[in-house]
Amino acid sequence: MVIKVKVPRGTLAEDIVYHARALITGFKEAVEPNRLTIQYPRELRWVPERFRGWILLDIRKCISCFQCAWACPVNAIQMYRAPNGKWYPGIRYTECILCHFCVDACPVGALIPTPIHDVAYVDFDEVKFKPEDMSRIPEYVYDESERVIKYEIKDGKLLKIALPKEEITKRLEELDKTIEKSPSTTTAGSES
Ligand code: SF4
Ligand code: SF4
C-alpha cells in the first residue's frame, strides 16, 4: 500500500513572512559573513599545529620494535619486512582513526605527526600506506587550494580570516625539512 503524504501549505501571509526571513538571512550573510562553510578544495580550513592528521615515518630512526603496531587500537598498522631484514610499519588509512597512539608509543620518535588531514585517493590500495609511502608527503596534497581560512573569536564574534596559500606551502616545506629524503627510504619494500 502506498500512502501519499501531503505537503502542508501555509497561508499567503505565512509564505511572505518565510520568504522575507530567508532574504534577511541571506542579506545578513552578505554583509557580515558568519558561516563556517568553506569552498573546499579552493579554500582550506586552517588546523592547529598539533592537529592529529597524516603520519610521516622517518625510517632511519625506526628500530623495528613493533611498539606502534601493538599500541594501535584498531589494528591499522601492518609491519613490512625490508630487504635489510628489518621490519617497518605501514598504515591502512581505511582503518586508522588518527588517534596518534602509535606516535606516542614510538620510543625513538620515528613517527612524525602532521596536521595533514584531507588527502584524497581514487583507489582503495592507495590508502594502504607502505613504509616507503609514509616517508614522504603526498605530492598532490593541497594542490588546488587558493587560500586558507582561519577562524578566530574576538569580542565574542567569529572572525573569518583568509590567508594566502603560501601559509600552507610554508607548513608543508617545514614538514619536508623535518624528514629529509634519503636513499634508505627505498629499502623497505617487500611485504611480510
Ligand atoms: S593513529 Fe591510531 S589508529 Fe592510526 S595507526 Fe596510529 S595508533 Fe593506529
Ligand atoms: S616506528 Fe617506532 S614504534 Fe614503530 S617499529 Fe619503528 S621504532 Fe618501533
Give the number of the ligand closest to the Cα of residue 106: 2
CA dihedral over 113, 117, 121, 125, signed as positive or negative: positive
Nearest to 102 by CA among 74, 137, 81: 74
Q: Which residue in the block uniquely carries the three cell numbers 616545506?
A: 173
- Helix, strand or coil, per DSSP, at residue 23: helix
Give the domain CATH number at 133: 3.30.70.3270
pLDDT level of residue 38 (50, 70, 90 thresholds): confident
For the chain, helix (H) and strand (E) counts, in that order, are 4, 7
User: Does residue 121 lie in a domain region?
Assistant: yes
pLDDT in tens, 15-28: 999 999 999 989 98
Q: Model pTM greater than 0.75?
A: no
Choice among 14-28, 99-113, 173-187 with the minimum mean pLDDT:
173-187
Q: Pick the atom of ligand 1 nearest to 93's CA.
A: 4
Residue 40, in any domain of the structure:
no
pLDDT of 186 > 60? The answer is: no
**Which structural domain, as residue segments, surrounds residue 174?**
51-137+169-187
Domain assignment present for residue 149? The answer is: no
